[in-house]
Amino acid sequence: KGVINQRRENLTPEKIDFIAETDKNTLAEALVGADVFVGLSKGNVMTPEMLLSMEDNPVVFALANPDPEIDYNLAMETREDVIMATGRSDYPNQVNNVLGFPYIFRGAMDVQARGINEDMKLAAVYAIAKLAKEPVPEMVVLTYNLKSLTFGRDYFIPKPFDGRLVTKVSMAVAKAAMESGIADRPIDDFNAYENHLLDRMGKDDKLLRMMQNRAKANPKRVAMVNAEEYNVLKAAQILHEEGIAKPILVGERALIEAAMKQYDIRLNVPIVDPNADDQQDNRCKYRETLWNRRNRKGINEYKAKKYVRNRDYFAPLMLAHGDTDALITGYSKNYSSVLKPVLEVIDKEEGVNKVSAMMMILSNRKPYFFADTSIIQDPTAEELVNIARMTEQFVKSLAIEPRLAMLSFENFAAISETSKKVAKAVKILHEEYPDMIVDGEIQPDFAMDSDHLSDYPFSKLGTKPANTLIFPTLEASNLSYKIIRGMKAAQTVGPVLLGLKQSVHILQMRSSVDEIVNLATIAVLDAQRKQGDR
């Protein structure tokens, strides 16, 4: 019927509150020069001419369902500067009550609020608006089959399946209820409340959350190679925005800046280009270091000068010189080719002859730790001892009691050569490290099951299952974790490189954003430990 103004007659009580003193009578007249249109009526009541009559960058919330007040595609064709939302899931910026009401109720109930007031509703709105400007988790992007999501015209409302809504909105509502004086059971510890909400949602990432919180307490500089790649850039953005690490992007500046522009990633962190003029002094220092370390192992001054322009050498040399605290590399190359320059530049920890690598397997039940998954193909008994010791120390650093099973395809038989090797390693561990909870040789399904373990009362594992599995060969460990990763049966984190004096970790080729974030988080914790400031 048009504008609710002073000339309208027989208005309902609900409409009387909205009477406007205006000479406008129709929707078309009301939209001339308007900044915002909010429709909650019926489909196709707004014409292209009406949209064109609005101010620059008009905000149009056409929320009628199933047909909006103006079709989304028609609006986009009519003017490029429109900022539009609908109630439809097949268009960007869906306005859906699922963004608000479940979490408003959650926050209200958790503080036993005596009602839901305007402060609580506004708190929910502000939390949703703030969330839209934060980096979007990879799982949300994948759920909607998109390459990326960044705040802008096509994304200014969070997606309904964004799992962060439960914590951000519920916590904001709970705080507003407390501040407005209607909460009968105030919350004292909002960090604990956040973890409680995630647990209720079935989030099996307690260990990752703990690691991230520890990293945030003292974030370290992390050099990130392959920074022109979307996944690395996006991970760097998340690490920076969440305060987990202080990323340093290593690579060709022009490519990195072009990628930032292409993917609309806003990231104000240092970019280090190994071949740039401003790195001349560093190249000279690094060349001298590399030549001094390797001049008796095939690297002459010419090669050293050439190699320091290669980011696979330049980045480890940054770490060796203290120009970064940790290093994440390997996104685009196979593991061994990236490991070689790292080992040529970074010293091993005292007592370590060979480095090894470990994978974290985050199952629904608990975390498991597999080693060695990447480096030593057929370890000797003595090398198995070192792998077990390094892995045990890492697990302890996470405040988890390591219970090690030395694996074989036999249980305490030592018949095959492989089992004999494992049994010898166990004997050494029992004699030299009697406090370690370790035993074998044992099959993995027996080591991970209390009932099976009860058949071996002499075992140091007792009846409490192992959480740390040391494999007899690289083939066995690598295939095992990659089967788990391929089946998506559990989340995998790593490989965690063990045995170096400084924090270096090498990605699996084409790691996901989440995998890079998780490994970088471990790199920060590793740097904290090795720099003595945990």
Q: Which two tokens stand for residue 431?
A: 């004699």
How distant, in Å, are the alpha carbons of 164, 166, 183, 198, 376 from that of 178? Answer: 21, 18, 5, 21, 57
Specify the domain boundaries for CATH 3.40.50.720 within the chain. 97-203
- Could you report the per-residue pLDDT of 292-337, keeping only the tens digit for each? 999 888 888 889 999 999 999 999 999 999 999 999 999 999 999 9
Task: Provide the pLDDT for residue 235.
Answer: 95
- Could you report the per-residue pLDDT of 18-37, keeping only the tens digit for each? 999 999 999 999 999 999 99
Task: Provide the pLDDT for residue 204.
Answer: 56
- Could you report the per-residue pLDDT of 508-526, keeping only the tens digit for each? 998 999 999 999 999 999 9
pLDDT at residue 433 greater than cutoff 90: yes
- Could you report the per-residue pLDDT of 491-512, keeping only the tens digit for each? 899 899 999 999 999 999 989 9
- Could you report the per-residue pLDDT of 217-242, keeping only the tens digit for each? 899 999 999 999 999 999 999 999 99
Q: Which two tokens stand for residue 248?
A: 């340093």
Higher pLDDT, 446 or 98: 446
What's domain 205-347+502-534's architecture? 3-Layer(aba) Sandwich (3.40)
Task: Provide the pLDDT for residue 34.
Answer: 95
Average pLDDT, the chain: 92
Q: Which two tokens stand for residue 425?
A: 């390693």
- Could you report the per-residue pLDDT of 257-277, keeping only the tens digit for each? 999 999 889 899 999 999 999
Neighbours of 483 (CB within 10 A): 10
**Measured in whole angstroms, how far is the alpha carbon of residue 373 from the centre of its chain?**
22
Phi, psi of 504 (to 5 degrees): -130, 135
Q: Which two tokens stand for residue 192?
A: 């604990």
Q: Would you place residue 210 in the very low, low, confident or very high pLDDT band (cuts 50, 70, 90)?
A: confident
Task: Provide the pLDDT for residue 534.
Answer: 47
pTM for the model stands at 0.74
Q: Which CATH superfamily is domain 97-203 in?
A: NAD(P)-binding Rossmann-like Domain (3.40.50.720)
Residue 481: CB partners within 8 Å, gap ≥ 6?
359, 361, 370, 373, 492
| Assigned CATH topology for domain 353-499 | Rossmann fold (3.40.50)
- Could you report the per-residue pLDDT of 332-369, keeping only the tens digit for each? 999 999 999 999 999 999 989 999 999 999 987 789 99
Specify the domain boundaries for CATH 3.40.50.10950 within the chain. 205-347+502-534
Q: Would you place residue 58 in the very low, low, confident or very high pLDDT band (cuts 50, 70, 90)?
A: very high
pLDDT at residue 201 greater than cutoff 80: no
Residue written as token pair 């050569």: 417
pLDDT at residue 475 greater than cutoff 90: yes
Write the DSSP string, 80-91: TT-EEEES-TTS
Phi, psi of 183 (to 5 degrees): -95, 120
- Could you report the per-residue pLDDT of 375-409, keeping only the tens digit for each? 999 999 999 999 999 999 999 988 889 999 999 99
pLDDT at residue 47 greater than cutoff 80: yes
Task: Provide the pLDDT for residue 203.
Answer: 55
pLDDT at residue 486 greater than cutoff 90: no
Task: Provide the pLDDT for residue 137.
Answer: 80
- Give the residue-averaged pLDDT of 47-73: 95
Say what percent of the chain tops pLDDT 70: 98
pLDDT at residue 527 greater than cutoff 60: yes
Q: Would you place residue 147 in the very low, low, confident or very high pLDDT band (cuts 50, 70, 90)?
A: confident
Say what percent of the chain tops pLDDT 90: 72
Distance in angstroms (rounded) separating the CA atoms of residues 153 and 81: 8
Task: Provide the pLDDT for residue 199.
Answer: 74
